[in-house]
Amino acid sequence: MLWYQLLRPFSYILIQHPVIKRVNWLVPAVLTFAALFLILPFRQSINIWAADGLISSAQGFVQGLPGFYIAALAAIATFGQQTTLDKVIPSPTPTLHTSYSGTWVEMKLTRRRFLCLMFAYLTAVSIVLSLLAYYCRAVAAPARNLFTPMFVDALSLLALGIYLLFLFQLVVVTLWGLYYLGDRMHQPDPYDPPASPPSP
């Protein structure tokens, strides 16, 4: 139960919906490959892991995100009572398996719960990404003395790819969440087709 509670902020990634995998993985992966394609030819001259390098500069952006996400999460969780936020999202409705009274059940998500899951995930990922970046930067210099240059170069490239993937995921999911908060949730739901008039 403790592990369930500690890992639950990451449950957004388990939501089932036709579009969500493209938002969470496909678009960030395309952006990551594009960034690596532009970086690779110049990786010997680009400062990636050292002080004032690429990762250090990116961390200046990532470190400011948890406060924004927590404020957004608090606002979404407490805003209004029984508003449109508490309606189940129309079809295709996102679903998530949740432990309820010791049993796993599939729950259809309301707008409020969907957005809470999204911003809880973004908060958790931004915190973990910052901690991992600090760790990688700390071990980058000692690693060059312990392993061969080829191995260190491959490991550095792998770590950069993973970092960029989750960095772009933060950006893409944040933009999707802002679209939902700023536009989509204010649009009317599609209406069911009117019933046929009764026969005379």
Residue type, 43: R
pLDDT of residue 116: 93
pLDDT in tens, 8-19: 999 999 999 989
pLDDT of residue 150: 81
| Backbone dihedral region for residue 177 (phi beyond 0: left; psi -120 to 50: alpha; all else: beta) | alpha
Alpha-carbon gap, residue 110 to 105, rounded angstroms: 15
Cβ neighbours, 10 Å, residue 136: 19
Token digits for 138? 């700390």
pLDDT of residue 193: 47
Token digits for 63? 């470190």
pLDDT of residue 40: 83
Q: Which residues of the chain have pLDDT under 70?
A: 80-83, 184-200
Q: How many residues does the chain have?
A: 200
pLDDT of residue 83: 65
| Helix (H/G/I), strand (E/B), else coil: 162 | helix
Token digits for 88? 């189940």
pLDDT of residue 188: 66
| Helix (H/G/I), strand (E/B), else coil: 99 | strand
What rounded mean pLDDT belongs to the chain? 84
Say if CB 13 and CB 28 are below 8 A apart: no
The pTM for the full model equals: 0.85
